Structure 1
Amino acid sequence: GKGAYVFATGAPLLDAQGNRVGAIESIRDITERKQMEEALEGSEQQLADIISFLPDATFVIDRYGKVIAWNRAMEEMTGIKAEDMLGKDQYEYSMPFYGKRRPLLVDLVLKPDQEIEAEYVNIQSKDGVLVGDSYTPGLGGGHMYMSGTAAVLRDSKGNVVGAIESIRDVTDRRRMEVALKESEERYRLIFDHAPLGIVHFNHAGVVQDCNGKFLEILGTSRERILGFDMLNEMHDPAMCQAVQAALAGKLGYFEGECDCVPGCKPLPIRAIYKRITATDGAFLGGVGLIEDIAERKRAEEDKERLEAQLRQAQKMEAVGTLAGGIAHDFNNILMAIVGYTEMAAHQLPGENVVRQNLIQVLKAANRAKELVNQILTFSRQREQERKPVEIVPIVKEALKLLRASLPSTIEIRQSLLLTANQSLVLADPTQIHQIMMNLCTNAADAMSETGGTLEVGLEEIMVDSGVHHADLKEGPHVQLKVRDTGQGMEREVLERIFDPFFTTKHPGKGTGMGLAVVHGIVKRHHGTITVSSDPETGSTFHVYLPLIRNAVEVPPEPQASEPPTGNEKILFVDDEETLVSLGKQILEYLGYTVTATTNSMEALDLFRIDPERFDLVVTDMTMPQMTGIDLSSALMDFRPDIPIILCTGFSEKVTEENTKSLGIRELIMKPFAI
């Protein structure tokens, strides 16, 4: 009653002679098949409509590679209408994308090709679906990236009937990914090459990442530091507090000596920690900047040391300026002491006890004179003269002085294996004495608390190829040994022991110049000094100085002799009343006729009245109104041949050379003996 679809087949019936005798028809009910075909056509249309309205550009090929669907989005992307592409094969559909015929993902799901797959970025395959990105030079002027998703199509029986591919423009996404990658690379480049150590830690203070400089500063490895708990494993409480402050949202700061990671050497660092959050406010942990300030600390220490040296140099300059003034006045005082003592001694018999006492006064005055010379040498206002000296007597004299000043808890042992005539060196005796006193005083200081033994030895050694001292020439040398059994020195101290202004003594106990001066003296004498030390056994210094033999003779000690006498007339000028009286008395004692004055202008007037009256003029250098040089010049204006002797306690500007050039016969330094 509903009607039906039938399939009828009719044919004529013929007899044996071929004549039509009737007809036959076969009818089959095809309603069900017709209904299925109508349903399929509806499904295909529905599928075509779905594909056509998909937002992504989509096309379908059959199993032979012919295009059977090309939706509107594909038309918009490629600019090619569906009617122009449907039925095309031989990879015609790839032309809009690549400008050439080549397989796409839709082909690769039907027939894999590794070479083509390699041209895609991030290609992935899962459950028969193939996804990949590709640069498409044929679209958008050659600056577009597409992302494709392809899958096979199967019929109801599972047979492959074709394939479908959807393509999406991912150019913006790709550009963002490239920009992000470049940004990350720049960040990593900056991170890895930053001159400061950088560490990132999470909300619990556990290290997540760090750069190479951080590892270099701490002296550790990445494997050891990643996962390191800065709050619970770090040894330094102050550093932990800085990290905690950062995690609490404050600025954490640390500077000082830090034992950060167990097993690593403590080192001076500066660290700044700060909490970090994402743009959306999410807590990402913290970041720390670590700086190795060892060099800065050394620079600060060097600066402080240089400033101390500058202050010391300024003090020494002031001492030098003061020394000149002291030398002049002190030598004038010594002149009076020496002169009057000599006068008194000459008036007494040779065996008289008082005369012997006065001779001791003279020796003390001469030692005071040498002390003034040492002050002038120390302040670099007088160069020391080197001459052949016997070192044994100097060492013995120094030990004699030391014995009187050292406590009884320190025993002095001496081993002088040289005789006086075997110990001849070209040296300044005062500076050799200074070497002995400095080395022995330092040795005594090292034993001041516990006592001990001070050993002093002298012997000859031969420096040759078998005895290596880089600073010494081959030949005989005297070796001076000073050894103590006190507290020795650590290696760090030993390396700096000869540095100027370096001292381990308490403030006010030493200037740090003693051993530096000794080192300088030894070097100027073409020798060398070595030191060995151990905190448990004490220190030993060896000084090597070249011996001289048969080359020069030791100047004999000056012998007392009667001073020369005469009857000439002498003009004596000095602004010191005591020295004028002394000079007049000495010269008259020797037979001379003396006119003495304390006023240089008066002396000039006396000479101007009668220049031939005087046979000799003796004048002081430093006087008010007119100096000795100015007076000498004025006197020679009246009489160029007048002999003049210039006396001075000290003057930087007066030397034997320039006085000779002015016509002055002699320059005599006070104090002088008769």
Structure 2
Amino acid sequence: MGTRKNGRPLLEEIGANLSCWFWRTGAGGTIDYCSESVYGMLGYRPEELIGQPITAFAAPSECGCLLSQFGKDVAAGEGKTCFNVIFLRKDGTKVSFICRINKITGPGGEVAGFTALSIPSSYFYEQQAEIIHAFRETETNADPEFLKRLYLHLGMTAGADYVLISERDWTRDATMKSLLVDLEEKKFIENTSPLPKFPCEQVLAGKMCGFECGVMDSFNIEPLRVLVRNNSYIGVALKDFEGKVVGILAFFFGNPLKKSPAARLILDFFAERIVFGIERKRSAMALGQSEVKYRKLFEMAPMGIVAIDSRGAIVEANKHALDIIGANGIATVLSSYIGEIFFTPGTDSRLLTVNSDASVKFKKERVEFRIRRFDGETIPVESIGAFSQGDISLLLFQDISERKRVEEERIDMEARLAQMQKMEALGTMAGGVAHDFNNFLMTISGFTEMTLKNQSPGTVNHENLSYVLEASRKARDVVKQILLFTRRISAPKTPIDMANLIRQTLKLVRASMPSTIEIIEDLAKDGECVVFAEPFQIDQIFMNICANARDAMGEVDGMLLVKVGLTRVEGQKAKTLNLPEGSYVKLMIRDTGCGMSADTVARIFEPYYTTKEVGKGSGLGLAVVHGVVKTLSGGIMVQSEPGQGTTFSIYLPYYEVGRFDSSGAEEKASHRTHSVMFVDDDAAIAKLGEQMLASWGYRVSSFTGSVAALETFRATPDSFDLVITDLTMPSLTGKELLKNILDTRPGAKVILCTGYSDIMDIEQAGVLGAKAFLLKPIDWDNLSRLIEEILSDTPKNHF
């Protein structure tokens, strides 16, 4: 770049460009050198200050501090200090400066004087603000070129031709990563090269190094030797905050540079600013890397995390939290009050602590609560931790919908198990009661029936006894229903007159309906609508639908229409019901209740689906109806609209029954001379059986002891055409009696009877060889017909 045109010493020009001034004193504090730049700052010519003590142009209040720094901090310390001081301009005004002072040592190590670099505080802070702004701009925009721009600015300010910044590469031994800044061309040349032997080794050792001329001959970095044809060099070490040398800062000048103590002050000032920048950049990079790492952890956390400020406004939320609440991106929740997004009524006080200044923070207690999702659904969540730092409060929470579902299923299973256990206990109790109760009913109904036959119709006694007989039959049906309900017995599928069964069941339905509901019957004639099913299955269908109709109508005026009739299912209806075409018995139940929406109708047969309040419905009734109908190869159709009531139509296959063959009745008289053994440990029942059979013309031998009955049979096995025996008896049970009779005379005809048994059923009785199995109280008309069929070997199923 050649010689400076103005001919001023280079150090003076640097000082002018830096808006600072240099001065030097002897050991006593008398100024012996002062740069010309002092004129622009204080209004003094250098010669006016040379020979004066330093306190001559300091503000009176600053003299003590200034002398203290010279005498104590510098002379007794490491040899340099930096402090703020107020100097007086020639016109008497005050100016604040930042002073950097170094002591000069003599040959024997004594203090020979001081050098100082003084920079106006305003300029210093402007430069500092500019550098800090550059750093902040770089951190915001992630601009990797900011240090290059900074070096260019500093080099031009110093008036250098080149700036060299070298950073030690700690990953490679004795290697420097260098950046050469060409101030004239504004070019940047990067280079990695071996550590120069000289003079850079001295700088890396922590020493300042300066050469007035011929400096390039001492460098062995090839790019510098080719590109830089300079004479002068000033270099200082770059040290980090721990004092470790991390690189070199050097200025190269085209003109020879006269040695000056102020040169070190210039380089020290720049070095501190650059190290500050490097350290800030390194810290920013480390912080950025740390933020990236923790941002990943934040986003990958397996729970929702949301942060609020002291006003309760959301300032951050991770992806898991946004997924839980159904938000479409963080922008949809930022600055929103936490209660507007998360809380349902009553949740605020459970989760938030409100301080005296109205600021809020999350409570640390583990709390279960519900949040309102963006789609309107409320779901259960649980707070699993809360942390506060300053004005920011952090909440960790997780969706517990699945856990709640499992818990609800467990509770439901436990409830159902408890219900099953209760039903089992009820069934056991019902079985024990039924055995004795049926024996009592058999005695009552049997003797009543016999006595009734001896009374003339129309008399008071005949009417009264008819009432007793009807009551006993109803009592028998109640016991049977209890046993069926508790599943202690299973009725076989038989041809059932649907209209007659519904007519009887309606008596129970009326008792359960409010008086405000009118029940209208439209039932076919007896015998017209026959289906093949268990009576209990039909009861399940009818009672469950009627219960839903009752709940739908409530206590207000309503109407329940029950209709049974024969119909044809063909064409589109057959396709809709998924049934083969043919004749079906149709059970229609229509109510005038609240009705249902199409969505509800589509789900009513799902297990556990219910629209009723908690505790008022299990959601199983209609699911049971659907299952029973499908089991019976039938179909079901539902028509309903909100406010228009509901109609259930059940279609069950019609069962064609042949006419009753009366040939058995014609043969009745031929069997009335047969001999029958009647065995029951209840003396009243044994007496009843004997009298009833005798009234039919049979020769009867009754026994109250099974052992005596067996001995009699073994003595004359061919004397008895039929044995009717109770099942539950002391000493020898009916089952054992049956086995012994068949062992004595294979093919013997035996009828088993019982009030109740959980160890014997129809199928097992047939396997053991019994001809029939009857439940008490016995229907005597049915028994009479059954005896005739068995004795005549009519091929019918008596089970």
Q: Tell me the TM-score normalised to structure 1 length.
A: 0.67
Check if 1:251 corresponds to 2:385.
Answer: no
Rounded to whole Å, the distance in 2 between the matches of 1:305 and 1:646 is 42
Check if 1:213 corresponds to 2:325.
Answer: no
Match of 1:338 in 2: 445
Do the aligned partners of residues 173 and 503 (structure 1) sit closer, same or farther apart at CA in structure 2, a change above 3 Å counting?
A: closer
Rounded to whole Å, the distance in 2 between the matches of 1:214 and 1:53 is 48
Rounded to whole Å, the distance in 1 between the matches of 2:616 and 2:376 is 37
C-alpha deviation, 1:582, in angstroms: 0.7
C-alpha deviation, 1:212, in angstroms: 1.3
Check if 1:645 corresponds to 2:751.
Answer: yes
Match of 1:268 in 2: 380
1:614-667 superposed Cα distances (whole Å, 9 cap, x missing partner): 554432110112211222334455555654433222323334554455454544
CA contact (8 A) 1:238 1:254 kept: no
C-alpha deviation, 1:579, in angstroms: 0.6
Q: Secondary structure of the residue that 1:86 maps to in structure 2?
A: helix
CA contact (8 A) 1:239 1:254 kept: no
Check if 1:92 corresponds to 2:198.
Answer: no
CA contact (8 A) 2:199 2:219 kept: no
Check if 1:443 corresponds to 2:549.
Answer: yes
Q: How many residue pairs are counted as aligned between the two chains?
A: 573
Match of 2:692 in 1: 586
C-alpha deviation, 1:602, in angstroms: 3.2
Check if 1:553 corresponds to 2:658.
Answer: yes
Check if 1:311 corresponds to 2:418.
Answer: yes
Q: Secondary structure of the residue that 1:216 maps to in structure 2?
A: helix
Rounded to whole Å, the distance in 2 between the matches of 1:644 and 1:55 is 114
Matched AA of 2:424: E
Matched AA of 2:727: M
Rounded to whole Å, the distance in 1 between the matches of 2:500 and 2:773 is 31
Rounded to whole Å, the distance in 1 between the matches of 2:453 and 2:368 is 76
CA contact (8 A) 1:571 1:617 kept: yes
Do the aligned partners of residues 223 and 370 (structure 1) sit closer, same or farther apart at CA in structure 2, a change above 3 Å counting?
A: same
Match of 1:487 in 2: 594
Rounded to whole Å, the distance in 2 between the matches of 1:305 and 1:342 is 49
Match of 2:333 in 1: 225
With 461-470 and 646-655 compared, the bigger mean Cα shift is at: 461-470
Pick from 689, 700, 706 the counterpart of residue 600 of structure 1.
706
Rounded to whole Å, the distance in 2 between the matches of 1:150 and 1:585 is 136
CA contact (8 A) 1:53 1:72 kept: no
CA contact (8 A) 2:352 2:362 kept: no
Pick from 339, 344, 348 the counterpart of residue 239 of structure 1.
348
C-alpha deviation, 1:211, in angstroms: 0.6
Identity %: 35
| Structure 1 unaligned regions, length at least 5 | 1-32, 96-100, 108-144, 157-163, 278-282
Rounded to whole Å, the distance in 1 between the matches of 2:405 and 2:448 is 58
1:144-201 superposed Cα distances (whole Å, 9 cap, x missing partner): x988979886779xxxxxxx99998999999876665444333222211222111122
Matched AA of 1:650: Y
Match of 1:543 in 2: 650
Rounded to whole Å, the distance in 1 between the matches of 2:377 and 2:684 is 72
C-alpha deviation, 1:500, in angstroms: 6.1
CA contact (8 A) 1:324 1:650 kept: yes
Match of 1:134 in 2: none
Matched AA of 1:208: V
Rounded to whole Å, the distance in 2 between the matches of 1:233 and 1:668 is 69
Pick from 630, 636, 654 the counterpart of residue 760 of structure 2.
654
C-alpha deviation, 1:434, in angstroms: 4.7
C-alpha deviation, 1:483, in angstroms: 2.0
Rounded to whole Å, the distance in 2 between the matches of 1:633 and 1:55 is 110
Match of 2:299 in 1: 192
Matched AA of 2:388: I
Do the aligned partners of residues 462 and 557 (structure 1) sit closer, same or farther apart at CA in structure 2, a change above 3 Å counting?
A: farther
Q: CA RMSD in A?
A: 5.4
Do the aligned partners of residues 534 and 273 (structure 1) sit closer, same or farther apart at CA in structure 2, a change above 3 Å counting?
A: farther
CA contact (8 A) 1:59 1:71 kept: no
CA contact (8 A) 1:146 1:170 kept: no
Equivalences for residues 259-298 of structure 1 within 5 A: 259=372, 265-271=377-383, 274-277=386-389, 283=390, 285-298=392-405
Equivalences for residues 500-511 of structure 1 within 5 A: none
Pick from 492, 495, 510 the counterpart of residue 385 of structure 1.
492
Equivalences for residues 564-575 of structure 1 within 5 A: 566-575=672-681
Matched AA of 1:318: A
With 382-391 and 214-223 compared, the bigger mean Cα shift is at: 382-391
Do the aligned partners of residues 559 and 366 (structure 1) sit closer, same or farther apart at CA in structure 2, a change above 3 Å counting?
A: farther
Q: Secondary structure of the residue that 1:469 maps to in structure 2?
A: helix
Pick from 409, 414, 422 the counterpart of residue 302 of structure 1.
409
Rounded to whole Å, the distance in 1 between the matches of 2:501 and 2:287 is 83
Rounded to whole Å, the distance in 1 between the matches of 2:303 and 2:508 is 59
1:586-612 superposed Cα distances (whole Å, 9 cap, x missing partner): 233344444433222333444455556
Matched AA of 2:330: R
Matched AA of 1:293: I
Rounded to whole Å, the distance in 2 between the matches of 1:614 and 1:598 is 17
Matched AA of 1:382: I
Do the aligned partners of residues 240 and 187 (structure 1) sit closer, same or farther apart at CA in structure 2, a change above 3 Å counting?
A: farther
Match of 1:161 in 2: none
CA contact (8 A) 1:245 1:252 kept: no
Match of 1:462 in 2: 569
Rounded to whole Å, the distance in 2 between the matches of 1:369 and 1:71 is 122
| Structure 2 unaligned regions, length at least 5 | 15-114, 116-157, 169-175, 230-244, 257-266, 785-799
Q: Secondary structure of the residue that 1:382 maps to in structure 2?
A: coil
C-alpha deviation, 1:288, in angstroms: 0.9
1:209-251 superposed Cα distances (whole Å, 9 cap, x missing partner): 1111212222234112112244899765642663336956962
Rounded to whole Å, the distance in 2 between the matches of 1:514 and 1:42 is 104
1:5-27 superposed Cα distances (whole Å, 9 cap, x missing partner): xxxxxxxxxxxxxxxxxxxxxxx
Matched AA of 1:622: T
Rounded to whole Å, the distance in 2 between the matches of 1:319 and 1:503 is 27
Do the aligned partners of residues 437 and 607 (structure 1) sit closer, same or farther apart at CA in structure 2, a change above 3 Å counting?
A: same
With 560-569 and 341-350 compared, the bigger mean Cα shift is at: 560-569
CA contact (8 A) 1:243 1:273 kept: no
Q: Tell me the TM-score normalised to structure 2 length.
A: 0.58
1:3-49 superposed Cα distances (whole Å, 9 cap, x missing partner): xxxxxxxxxxxxxxxxxxxxxxxxxxxxxx9xx999679999x999x
Rounded to whole Å, the distance in 2 between the matches of 1:231 and 1:369 is 64
1:312-351 superposed Cα distances (whole Å, 9 cap, x missing partner): 1111222332333333323323322332233224435677
Rounded to whole Å, the distance in 1 between the matches of 2:684 and 2:434 is 17
Q: Secondary structure of the residue that 1:190 maps to in structure 2?
A: helix
C-alpha deviation, 1:287, in angstroms: 0.8
C-alpha deviation, 1:555, in angstroms: 6.0
